[in-house]
Amino acid sequence: MVKCGHCKEHHETVAEVRACAVRSGSLPLNKIAASLGITTIADKVVVPSSALIDPAPLPNLESARYAVELDGVWKFYQIDQPQSGKWRGYTFVKVQAGDETFPIRDGAKRAQIITAIRAAGPEQAAKNYGHQLGQCSLCGRTLTNPESIEAGIGPICAGKAGW
pLDDT tens digits, 117-153: 999 999 899 999 998 999 999 999 999 988 888 888 9
Does the pLDDT at position 44 exceed 80?
A: no
Q: Which residue has the higher pLDDT, 55 or 72?
A: 72
The mean of the pLDDT values for the chain is: 81
Instruction: Check residue 54 and give its pLDDT.
Output: 40
Report the run of H or E that residue 69 belongs to, with start and end: strand 64-70
Q: E strand or H helix at 114, and its extent?
A: helix 107-120
pLDDT at 51: 44
**Whether residue 105 has pLDDT greater than 80:** yes
65: confidence class by pLDDT, cuts 50, 70, 90: very high
Q: How many whole angstroms separate alpha carbon 139 and alpha carbon 111?
A: 23
Mean pLDDT along residues 37-52: 59
